[in-house]
Amino acid sequence: MELKFEQIAGFPKSLSETPQHFCPGCTHGVNTRLIAEAIDDLQVAGDIVGVCGMGCSALLPDYLDIDMVAAPPGQAIPVAVGLSHEIGEKGLVFVYLGEGDLYGRGLSALFHAAIRGESLSVFCANNLNMGMSGGHLSPTSLLGQKTATTPNGKSTVKYGVPVDFTRLLLNIPGVSFVARFKGFTAGEIRKGKELFKRSLQIQKFQKGFSFVEILGICPTNLELPPPEAVKQVKSAISGIYPSGIFKTPEVGITL
C-alpha cells in the first residue's frame, strides 16, 4: 500500500527565524505566530504594515518578517491611521499593542479612530498588567489583583473597577468587527487565527474598524509557573472578560 503524506503544519513564512525573547509561557509568542499564520493564509505579507507601541509587544518587529513601525507610547493608533490614509486600498495596516498602552495613554486615539470608522485592524494583547515595566497596574487589572503598584490588591477606592473596553466599542457605528479569545487555551488559540484573518479581510473590503482582544498571561509578573498562571487567570477572568465574536458584518465577506 502506498502511503501519502500531506504537510499540515510548518514554520510560517512571515515569522522571522530570530529566537524570541518573550518569557517562557508568555502569550505574546502565541499571538506572534497566529498573526504570521493569518498573514500567510491571506497571502498579504508584501502588502501589510504592522504598528507596535511600548512594552513587551514592542518586540514584535524582531519576530515578524514583514514591514513594521514602532510608535511612541499612546501613539500607535495615530501612526497607523496616517499609514492607512497613505496606503489606502492598496494595502493593509494592523496595530498590535498591550492593554496598558492601548487602554491607558492610547485610549482617546482608539475611540476616535473607532468613531471615524477608520480602516484598521487593531489587535490588543490584554494580560492584565504592564509586563515589561515590572508588572504594575493596568486599566484591565482585576479587583484584588496584586501588582507591583498594588501590593495589597487593586481596590475600587483608589483605582475604580476594571472596564471591559472591548465591549465598550460595540455601540460605535463605525466599528464593524469586535471579538475576543483566550490566547492560552488550545481550542481558542485555533479560533484566534481565524479572528485575525477575519479582521484583516474586513479591512480589505473597506468595511471599517475591526478589533480583536487576546486575553493573555504574564507568568513572570504573576510569579507563577505557566500552568498555574493559566489556571489562575482562567478562573479570575471568568464572567468578567468573556470570549466570543460580539459584532460582525452580516454580509459581503467569506473566509
Binding site for ligand SF4 (CB under 6 A): 22-23, 26, 28, 56, 127, 131-132, 218-221
Q: From the CB of 152, what's the least distance to ligand SF4, in Å?
A: 21
Identity of the residue, 23 or 115, whose beta carbon is nearer to ligand SF4 in the bound complex? 23
Rounded Cα gap, residues 242 and 160, in angstroms: 20
Rounded Cα gap, residues 102 and 104, in angstroms: 6
Could you identify the residue written with the cell 530570530? 18
Nearest C-alpha neighbor of 194 from the set 37, 15, 60, 8 = 37
Identify whether the C-beta of residue 203 lies closer than 8 Å to the C-beta of residue 92.
yes
Identity of the residue, 59 or 178, whose beta carbon is nearer to ligand SF4 in the bound complex? 59
Nearest C-alpha neighbor of 84 from the set 32, 47, 35, 39 = 47
Rounded Cα gap, residues 73 and 68, in angstroms: 16
Identity of the residue, 148 or 161, whose beta carbon is nearer to ligand SF4 in the bound complex? 148
Q: From the CB of 131, what's the least distance to ligand SF4, in Å?
A: 3
Q: From the CB of 222, what's the least distance to ligand SF4, in Å?
A: 8
Identity of the residue, 57 or 119, whose beta carbon is nearer to ligand SF4 in the bound complex? 57
Q: From the CB of 20, what's the least distance to ligand SF4, in Å?
A: 9
